Amino acid sequence: MKKTLLFVAILASVVTISAQSGNVGINTQQPTETLDVNGTLRVRSLTDGSSSSTYDQVLVMKTDGTIGKASRSSLGSSTLNALVKTTIESAGIHCSTGGLKVESGQDTNANGVLDASEVTSTNYVCNGMQGVQGIQGPPGPQGATGATGATGATGVGLTNGTAGGQVYLTSSVSPYSPQAPQTATGDVLISSTAVTTIANNAITTAKVADNAITLAKISATGTKDNTTYLRGDGTWATPSGGGSSVSEGLGRLVDANNQLIGYVQSIGTNNYVIKTSNGYITTISIDGSFIGAQTYYNDSSCNGITKYINSGGAGTVGYIRSGKYLYYEPTTGKFFKLKNINSNGIAISVTIPSSSYIYNFNSSTNVGTCTTGSGGAGWQVEETETTRATIGLPATITLPLTLQ
């Protein structure tokens, strides 16, 4: 009996029944609904209504805790779909190596597209950093040979020639394609077996360079040297006139190498007057040096280009000398021809200016001095040197000299 009274007392302190509304309240003195529970609610066992069409109602609750019911279909029509959109993210502040931009949100306007205004979350999935280059793997097996390709179009090819020994030439402009074969003409002919020959009468004087034909190329009999000449019949012959092969004068003057220096015209105590192979007259000492002469210059150093050879005529002009006479200038070792040569090949002496300077040459010592002159008459010499090759003298002379 006591236990029953205790339960009733406890129940009375927890449960309240409102006389005005007939509502029952648990843990509340003012119930607002038929059953108003101020606390948690636990239901031990409920019938499973997920697969039964009769259970089309679900419990819903207001923010103040009031429980109501709603049909399942009404709840389904108000549910919002969640959408996710991904786009490529370029390398930048969000992803240093690039990646994907992931945006999500609810489709509030139900258009099936996640609009910018519907995005509630943005995340980034970034690419990883470039890894270290791996070790080179072994070569894979040889692949199978591919199928043979289709045959290409037939090319233009080369046309047939019209004669043997013709050649193909490319055009003068790009792509420089082969042209019709041509027959080679001119100085060189090409046979059908690619043998070249010089055409008849193709070698003319105009096509041969000066000094291009050497003595070795001349087909002649006999011995060619500085004592023989080439006859018109292709024979090297010795000039007639004596056993020493002399063609004029007192004999041939040669050096140790048998080089012809000239033909001796007269002999002095220690020198020879010679005529060179080209017809010039000069004087050579027995020691191989050439003899100078008393010379007048227009400058005080006796080395100017204007010079005269003293004629010894006490100022009288008109003295004559062979135009083939050569003046030798000991100070320079050069030869000069005479000026003022008339149509007969004779040089005429002229007046030497009084302001000239005289160079006295000592043929015994081969030394001279330059002093003030007083003018006179003499033969003027050319300003330009005449080379030994032009004169007909060897470039070098080797002693001893021999008169043959």
Asked if residue 4 has pLDDT above 60, the reply is no
Could you tell me the pLDDT band of residue 257, with boundaries at 50, 70 and 90? Answer: very high
Which residues have a Cβ under 8 Å from the Cβ of 376 and sit 6 or more positions away? 296, 310, 311, 313, 314, 315, 351, 352
What integer pLDDT is reported at residue 12 of this predicted model? 55
Q: What is the pLDDT of residues 59-73, one digit of tens each?
A: 777 777 788 777 665
- Token pair listed for 51: 């697969």
**Rounded Cα distance, 309 and 348, in Å:** 11
**Rounded Cα distance, 185 and 197, in Å:** 11
**Residue 341 near residue 303 (C-beta atoms within 8 A):** no
Nearest CA to 197 out of 207, 205, 206, 187 is that of 187
What integer pLDDT is reported at residue 54 of this predicted model? 67
**Rounded Cα distance, 29 and 17, in Å:** 8
Quote the mean pLDDT of the chain. 82
Could you tell me the pLDDT band of residue 242, with boundaries at 50, 70 and 90? Answer: very low
**Rounded Cα distance, 316 and 228, in Å:** 45
Could you tell me the pLDDT band of residue 206, with boundaries at 50, 70 and 90? Answer: confident
Instruction: Give the Å distances, CA to CA, from 365 to 65, 107, 213, 360, 362.
Output: 152, 130, 45, 12, 6
Could you tell me the pLDDT band of residue 11, with boundaries at 50, 70 and 90? Answer: low
CB count within 10 Å of CB 110 equals 9
Nearest CA to 404 out of 281, 283, 274 is that of 274
Nearest CA to 280 out of 176, 381, 388 is that of 388
With tokens 């020198």, the residue in question is 271
Q: What is the pLDDT of residues 297-330, one digit of tens each?
A: 988 888 888 999 887 766 688 899 999 999 999 8
Over its C-alpha atoms, the chain yields an Rg (Å, rounded) of 67
**Residue 191 near residue 164 (C-beta atoms within 8 A):** yes
Nearest CA to 297 out of 387, 363, 360 is that of 360
Q: What is the pLDDT of residues 71-120, one digit of tens each?
A: 665 665 456 788 889 999 898 998 988 888 989 988 888 888 989 898 99
Element (H, E) at 102: strand 99-106
Could you tell me the pLDDT band of residue 241, with boundaries at 50, 70 and 90? Answer: very low
- Token pair listed for 359: 């160079």
Asked if residue 404 has pLDDT above 80, the reply is yes
**Rounded Cα distance, 107 and 162, in Å:** 87
